[in-house]
Amino acid sequence: MRKSILHKLQEISGSKYVLTAPEDLVCYGYDAQHVEYCPEAIVRAGSAEEVCAILRLANEEGLHVTPRGAGTGLSGGSVPAAGGLVLDLGRMNRIIEIDQSNLLATVEPGVITADLASAVEAVGLMYPPDPGSIKVSTLGGNVAENAGGLRAIKYGVTADYIKAIEGATPTGEFFKAGAVTMKSVAGYDLVHLLCGSEGTLAVFTKLTFKLLPLPKARRSMVGLFPQLTQAAETVSAIISAGIMPATLEIMDNVTIRTVEEFKKIGLPIDAGAMLLLEVDGASAQVVEEADKAARIMTSHNASEVQIASTHEERDKVWEARRSALAALARVRPTAILEDATVPRNQLADMVSEINRIANKYSLTIGTFGHAGDGNLHPTILTDQRDKEEMARVEKAIDEIFNAALQLGGTVSGEHGIGFAKSRYLACEVGPGALGMMRTIKSALDPKGILNPGKIFTDQTT
Amino acid sequence: MLNELDRLTFNCIKCGYCKAACPVYKEIGEEAASPRGRVRLIRGVYAGDVSLSQRYRKLIELCISCRACTAECPSGVSPNQAVLNARHHLAIECGIPLIKRLIFRRAMTARRMFPASAKLLGFLQRAIILQSRYSPARLILPILGLPFDKAIPYFQLKTFRDRMPEVIPTTNRKYRVAYFVGCGANLIYPEIGEAVVNLLTYFGVEVVIPRKQMCCGTPVFTSGDFEGATHLARQNLKVLSNLDVDAIITACGSCGTTIKHEWHDLLGIEVPSELTSKVYDITEFLTDCLAVSLSAHIPKAKTITYHDPCHLVRGMGVQNQPRKLLSSLADTRYVELASADTCCGGGGAYSIYHPDMSRKIGARKVDNVLKTEADLVATGCPVCILQLREMFSIARILRQVEHTAVVLNRALKEKSQN
Ligand SMILES: Cc1cc2nc3c(=O)[nH]c(=O)nc-3n(C[C@H](O)[C@H](O)[C@H](O)COP(=O)(O)OP(=O)(O)OC[C@H]3O[C@@H](n4cnc5c(N)ncnc54)[C@H](O)[C@@H]3O)c2cc1C
Ligand code: SF4
Ligand code: SF4
């Protein structure tokens, strides 16, 4: 990067916050997927004014800018695919206000998701979106990826909570979008255009979220099934019966076996699949729903159903699920986590497809995920250094996405397109919608400086 | 060596879970200062896209070895272990700075010289009254890159081990154990050693303090000198293997962890499992083997809290035992400390090499202690005691900080007097 540009960046944010050492460049070149690109510099912005100034400078100089939260993305969103500058928002990490009377929280984008969740819980409120990365990910990253989580089936995703966004447009203009009222139809719904925009349409500097009261009671249970497809079918049955669990997760045999090997918590390693379910709400309703769900599991061939009655038992139920990725990641050096998502009633078919694909390419794929949302995480266990196997992995991923689309699903339920999945986007949304997306992008970012190389295939460099 | 760096890092899936745990990253906020960043850099040294630059060395040295990252990692990677090996690699490729070489290589690995130099230091301290907060001799501290108000522990003129006989018998003998004293209790806080011996003999345990034991090696390998640490480990191993005892007791989480795990895991020494399985922290031995519960009260302290030393809780897995013992004290209220198991910023020599970072991390601990309103903080490691006392002293806050064994021993004395 030219000295003069670096100099200006230092004037904007202070030289302490402009990093150019090779060690820093390497460390800002990755996120939680496996492809890396190095930036030429990193700037750690401290305010909305700085962000605007940086983007204006970038427009003048034709400099590419990639916003970054905590770098836990799984589609390469914060990886500077076209080089240039990484704009780290982690320093802007203040919780500005928790408004108990309006049930709202206003934060800077670098606040860690779990920090907001525990701050509002301390006053009896709940911020429901709880991605698996909750202790690390930032709220800016969550909004940019429209992150989901374990409770999405009942409580929805980040988009269901984001009310207002302040930030900078790609050309460096400050904006405020959205309203904190219960409803608002003043103009286009920019908030929901920006939510899920993967750092390509704006850089957020302040976010306002809706909160909920904490539910009074909750109850967890596990059901064991001889076959994965039976578990998948049970998911639809539970929902059709009018039960709305807070969480409904699935784990296949590969995952169960690996978790058991790693944690030794007494899981039956010959079970084909496991459903983990939690209901929450008022005390009486929780008991009733849990019993009903248990009966449905039994009538759908569950070989065993256990309802957790104590705190410890509940923790044990969720320990298995929490350890899923951990256990799988230990089996082989590289774990590739996908998030193909299908309509809930197609879950069983999707599961069979994944099994077929794993066999076809002789790969080990552990499948777990948010069954209640039809959102599976087929996790391919492999070794990045093995070129031949990686070629099979690529083919398997292609087929998994094709299968999801065939079943009326989507290539990404919650991790975003980034550069990792851009070649599948056109197949999913079709030329019409893709054209609209491109038009929006080029209208807001005429010089293409903000996070190029993401979402669309032909924008690298 | 490079292969070792490869083996220790290739399982990293870059999930970032370890970032949430790292006290150093929390202060700096730059990815390269996070465990995930360090793992990537170390991997880069293996892969050839990172060089052994000053910045690399600094980032590797900034790790305080608290093991919090390792506990968080789903993938079985230990960033902490990778960092220690990276330091060893740096030491081989670039050498160890002279000052560290003098302290760790020459002084600590020689059995007599180390206590002798500590004693000499103790003598000098008394001669030049460095201890006093306003001593002009303190002007030397900023020259050495240390804060003017750095707390400097008094080194003992006569070490704890020099004062004690090799075998301390007991009436009604239930067990016979060896006490691995460690440098902290031997040279700086002899009251810890006295408390351990008292408690054990009181409950019917004969204590052997092997004469030829040396430093366990933690400060030596932490500076990258694996050869010096291996020398120490082997000497100690010889001493500890030839004892007819039921257990080996430590009162310092780092000594215990090093004997139990690091001699083998880090230094690659064959340590018989009969030996490692005999290593107990003093609180662990009191609770798990002697089923001690003390109902006596400790003078002055009304509310007690407990800080988990990193290596005691994550290295030795000792968490409930000290809490159980402390809660059993009559007339005192035990309160749990928020984030009790996060690092206090002590980190052995870390507070000397990185005084600013050490104090930033320590300040968070102080805040949490203040929230408990406890007047006494118990903990299980001499370095934590040193750090916490210094932190309270510079914040001008009056709080007692004691080793759990010392607290229990005081309660015991109180009890026998009543
Ligand atoms: C172990 C693991 C489990 C996960 N579980 C889930 C899960 O359950 N559900 C889920 O949805 N995701 C999950 N993820 C994916 C990831 O954590 C989310 O996508 C998260 O929202 C990313 O947040 P981040 O702060 O790390 O953002 P980053 O990875 O740094 O960035 C993500 C995107 O956001 C943009 N961005 C970041 N900050 C801003 C800002 N202030 N303004 C504009 N754009 C910005 C970046 O440019 C990038 O495109 C998981 C990841 C891991 C590693
Ligand atoms: S937690 Fe483990 S796998 Fe995840 S980034 Fe840290 S070292 Fe890598
Ligand atoms: S050992 Fe502690 S200081 Fe070192 S990288 Fe891990 S968490 Fe950070």
Expressed in angstroms and rounded, the spacing between residue A338 Cα and the centre of ligand 1 is 14
Q: Do B11 and A44 touch (CB under 8 A)?
A: no
Q: Is A142 near ligand 1, meaning CB less than 6 Å away?
A: yes
Q: Is B89 near ligand 2, meaning CB less than 6 Å away?
A: no
| pLDDT for A266 | 83
Q: Is the pLDDT of residue A459 over 50?
A: no
Give the tens place of pLDDT for each residue, A234-273.
999 999 999 999 999 999 999 999 888 877 888 889 999 9
The two tokens of residue A279 are 């209901």
- Residue in chain A nearest B6 by alpha carbon: A333
Q: Is the pLDDT of residue A23 over 60?
A: yes
CA distances, A433 to each of A86, A189, A409, A430 (Å): 29, 17, 16, 6
| pLDDT for A317 | 79
| pLDDT for A329 | 83
**Averaged over A116-127, what is the pLDDT?**
96
DSSP string, A431-460: HHHHHHHHHHHHHH-TT--BSTTSSSGGG-
**Averaged over A398-408, what is the pLDDT?**
94
| pLDDT for A259 | 86
Give the tens place of pLDDT for each residue, A302-324.
999 999 878 888 887 787 887 78
Query: How many CB pairs below 8 Å do chains A and B form together?
Result: 87
| pLDDT for A313 | 83
B395 vs A217: CA distance, rounded Å: 43
Tokens 């230091």 found at = B121
Q: Which of B229, B272, B1 is nearest to B104 (CA)?
A: B229
Q: Which of B360, B313, B340 is nearest to B33 (CA)?
A: B360
B355 vs A121: CA distance, rounded Å: 36
Q: CA B361, B364, B366: angle at the middle one, nearest 5? A: 110
Nearest atom of ligand 1 to the alpha carbon of A204: 42
Q: Do B31 and A330 touch (CB under 8 A)?
A: no
**Averaged over A124-144, what is the pLDDT?**
96
| pLDDT for A460 | 41
Helix (H, G, I), strand (E, B), or coil: what is residue A401? helix
Q: Which ligand is nearest to the CA of A92?
A: 1
A148: left (phi over 0), alpha (psi -120 to 50) or beta: beta
Q: Is A92 near ligand 1, meaning CB less than 6 Å away?
A: no
B187 vs B178: CA distance, rounded Å: 18
- Asked if residue B388 lies in contact with residue B401, where contact means CB atoms within 8 angstroms, the answer is yes
Nearest CA distance, B86 vs chain A (angstrom): 15
**Averaged over A218-225, what is the pLDDT?**
93
Q: Is B8 near ligand 3, meaning CB less than 6 Å away?
A: no
Query: What ipTM was reported for this prediction?
Result: 0.92
B342 vs B29: CA distance, rounded Å: 17
Average pLDDT, chain A: 93
Best probe of the B interface among A18, A27, A28, by most B CBs < 10 A, is: A27
A91 vs A45: CA distance, rounded Å: 7
Q: Which of B308, B309, B345, B369 is nearest to B147 (CA)?
A: B345
| pLDDT for A118 | 95
- Asked if residue A230 lies in contact with residue A349, where contact means CB atoms within 8 angstroms, the answer is no
Overall pTM > 0.90: yes
Among A residues 37-56, those touching chain B with beta carbons less than 8 Å apart: 44
A441 vs A193: CA distance, rounded Å: 11
Helix (H, G, I), strand (E, B), or coil: what is residue B84? helix
- Asked if residue B52 lies in contact with residue B90, where contact means CB atoms within 8 angstroms, the answer is yes
Nearest CA distance, B28 vs chain A (angstrom): 10
CA distances, A245 to each of A67, A227, B330 (Å): 35, 22, 47
**Averaged over A337-348, what is the pLDDT?**
90
| pLDDT for A183 | 80
Q: Is the pLDDT of residue A458 over 90?
A: no
Q: Do B74 and A133 touch (CB under 8 A)?
A: no
Q: Do B55 and A23 touch (CB under 8 A)?
A: yes
The two tokens of residue A83 are 């080089």
The two tokens of residue A24 are 């820093």
Tens-of-pLDDT digits for all 418 residues of chain B? 889 999 999 889 899 999 999 999 999 999 999 999 999 999 999 999 999 999 999 999 999 999 999 998 988 899 999 999 999 999 999 887 766 666 666 556 666 666 677 777 666 666 655 555 556 566 666 666 666 666 666 777 788 998 899 999 998 899 999 999 999 999 999 999 999 999 999 999 999 999 999 999 999 999 999 999 999 999 999 999 989 999 999 999 999 999 999 999 999 999 999 999 999 999 999 999 998 877 776 666 689 999 999 999 999 999 999 999 999 887 889 999 999 999 999 998 899 889 999 999 999 999 999 999 899 999 999 999 999 999 999 999 999 999 999 999 998 887 777 6
User: Biggest alpha carbon distance in chain B?
Assistant: 69
Q: Any chain B CB within 8 A of the CB of A114?
A: yes
More confident residue, A262 or A446: A446
Q: Where residue A220 falls among pLDDT bands split at 50, 70, 90?
A: very high
Expressed in angstroms and rounded, the spacing between residue A348 Cα and the centre of ligand 1 is 28
**What percent of chain A has a predicted confidence (pLDDT) above 90?**
78
Q: Is B90 near ligand 2, meaning CB less than 6 Å away?
A: no
For atom 5 of ligand 1, the residue with the nearest CA is A132
Helix (H, G, I), strand (E, B), or coil: what is residue A103? coil
